[in-house]
Amino acid sequence: MKTYHLIFNGRVQKVGFRYFVQKTAWEIGIFGWVRNNYDGSVETMFQGTPSNCRLFMEQIKTGPKTALVTQCQEQILDLLPFENFTIKG
């Protein structure tokens, strides 16, 4: 199973970004986690069906209305399956 690793930069902390990502993951059926990083970015790793992952990425790339994503770094990895979706840290 493919694991997607995304790092968002811009105005992505203190705007509800992690909660937006978690809610969207639950609605679509995505498993993984999301967290704030010390450098002001937000990082997420997730898994799901290929079509659900594409839909999830489309929906979270802009974030909530209060956010301003200026950059999104993407990486695809091969990792063990996640069982849920959580907010870390």
> Which positions are catalytic?
18, 36
Identify whether the C-beta of residue 12 lies closer than 8 Å to the C-beta of residue 38.
no
Strands 31-36 and 2-11: unpaired
- Bridge partners for 68 per DSSP: 11
How many residues in total does the chain contain? Answer: 89
